[in-house]
Structure 1
């Protein structure tokens, strides 16, 4: 029992002596680490201040500052470990980082992919904070660009969080990338209306709206001869190109065009259809001139058109004649009895 206590006391004594011998190196390593830590914070502030001069680069400065701070702290940790443990070599750290890096890469592949995509988005700036973008089924204003995801605020006041890897690898429409934006709308007029007169009226309606830019000038073009209308495409430019400006200009342009055209007798027709009845009976079977299902070229006389009510009355009259011809009268029914 005394032998075990003596051995334990010797081990404790050796540990205390080793700690005392290591204490100056530990204090020095802590001091070195804090020096690197304060240097890292200073570098972070410098990077943020340098990138802060760029417009909409607030998030970029934060990300680059954090990267610089993390790198300097990692170097300080390596130096501190070398002071405390002299046998610790740079090769050991590189090997450790290599093995752990592969494991971390597989475990956090999506996170690292979003992080790198966020860095590239912040560096290349395809869109900025405050821009209005369209991504797949989402549309709104960019609120924040972080290293993992980008948040947009929809026009109906909802927040959408989109991973940066999807934004970087897919198409994104930036509606506010330029100072101006072109709008368009198709107006249908009747086939009997004067096209040039209608176009002049549309130009007059556009000139009365202050929100429509004159440079670039609006244009009015005939685009299609549709089933019931002659489609005229109206194109105009607005500034600034934000969503609210789009809605306001569209409201004013369409209202002005409608009032201008109707006040000057231009028809704005709705879709119409013509129904042809198939009049094929046994008497007219094979005689195309007596049928209304397509009129072949060269026919001598086309069948006269009639209304839906007239067709129904003709059909009822025809059915009535057939019923009378198939049912004998009372005299006919009594004849066999008299005989």
Structure 2
């Protein structure tokens, strides 16, 4: 067999011969569009739930559960559409999904158990984000609760990652009970671009003692050639004053701006 004949057979196998080339390229483009659209929708869904949690319209735990469920559903739908584009029949798709699900469930039993435990924790809420807890030998403030892992932040600022299987089977000691205050700060005359302000504030206040694990809420109040004015809302442990530390960090972040306390409001 000469190389020309071998090359023709390879092209025919890949659908790149003159007869099938146009159809193959069209399918490849359709598949690319499906993949990109699936990734964009999954990212948009995660960001939507994150903003709802940040704005207080959803609890962080419920937002995490709904976000991850919606993301998995989006990827599953995208995979189904991609298989259909490749020419698979719905019967074949159902068989593939069933076999894949069975194989994954058998191979990842421990992961599945952790997933179920995580859902139970998110629904029952034995503790909330921002609570101080002790799980076995691990102790710290709850920073994140996912379907597989719970993240604690120690007073020293270290992150402790605890599998939810451990959380589910351990005795949990919880203090603080979610009792928190909400404090507002007015910052005026910021020279930083508006698009960079929110992330800069969050990075600046991250890991601050007695501050809730919930991200600060940054509200745009006014913008002019002289600068941008914002209001920063943070939650902190009840009975602990954080004004000096927050104001110091904000002044360090925005050297030319004016920072002042607005009011203290009890958090729900």
Quickly name the TM-score band, shorter chain normalised.
0.5 to 0.7
**Aligned partners of 1:175 and 1:241 also within 8 Å:** no
Aligned to 1:111: 111
**Aligned partners of 1:129 and 1:145 also within 8 Å:** yes
SS at match of 1:174: strand
Q: Alpha carbons of 1:142 and 1:35: their partners in 2 closer, same or farther (altered >3 Å)? A: closer
**Aligned partners of 1:141 and 1:153 also within 8 Å:** yes
Instruction: List per-residue Cα deviations over 1:130-152 (Å, max 9, x = no partner).
Output: 21223344443223323322233
Q: Which of the pair has more CA radius of gyration?
A: 1
Aligned to 1:146: 146
CA distance in 2, matches of 1:20, 1:159: 53
**Aligned partners of 1:63 and 1:119 also within 8 Å:** yes
Q: Alpha carbons of 1:241 and 1:19: their partners in 2 closer, same or farther (altered >3 Å)? A: same
CA distance in 2, matches of 1:83, 1:158: 47
Asked if 1:21 is matched to 2:29, the reply is no
CA distance in 1, matches of 2:53, 2:39: 21
Q: Alpha carbons of 1:69 and 1:169: their partners in 2 closer, same or farther (altered >3 Å)? A: same
CA distance in 1, matches of 2:178, 2:142: 16
Aligned to 1:166: 166
SS at match of 1:151: strand
SS at match of 2:133: strand
Name the Cα RMSD after superposition: 3.5
Instruction: List per-residue Cα deviations over 1:153-196 (Å, max 9, x = no partner).
Output: 456776543221222244322222275xxxxxxxxxxxxxxxxx
**Aligned partners of 2:52 and 2:58 also within 8 Å:** no
- What's the offset of the Cα at 1:5? 6.0
CA distance in 2, matches of 1:97, 1:78: 9
Instruction: List per-residue Cα deviations over 1:253-276 (Å, max 9, x = no partner).
Output: xxxxxxxxxxxxxxxxxxxxxxxx
**Aligned partners of 2:60 and 2:129 also within 8 Å:** no
- What's the offset of the Cα at 1:77? 2.8
Equivalent residues in 2 for 1:266-277, closer than 5 Å: none
**Aligned partners of 2:128 and 2:178 also within 8 Å:** no
Aligned to 1:71: 73
Q: Which structure 2 residue ranges, 5 or more long, are not aligned?
A: 180-236, 241-268
**Aligned partners of 1:56 and 1:129 also within 8 Å:** no
Q: Which structure 1 residue ranges, 5 or more long, are not aligned?
A: 180-238, 243-339
Q: Alpha carbons of 1:128 and 1:12: their partners in 2 closer, same or farther (altered >3 Å)? A: closer
Q: Alpha carbons of 1:22 and 1:8: their partners in 2 closer, same or farther (altered >3 Å)? A: same
Aligned to 1:11: 9
Q: Alpha carbons of 1:54 and 1:21: their partners in 2 closer, same or farther (altered >3 Å)? A: same
Q: Alpha carbons of 1:133 and 1:56: their partners in 2 closer, same or farther (altered >3 Å)? A: farther
- What's the offset of the Cα at 1:106? 2.7
Aligned residues: 180
TM-score (norm. length: structure 2): 0.53
- Larger RCO: 1 or 2 (CA < 8 Å, sep 6+): 2
TM-score (norm. length: structure 1): 0.44
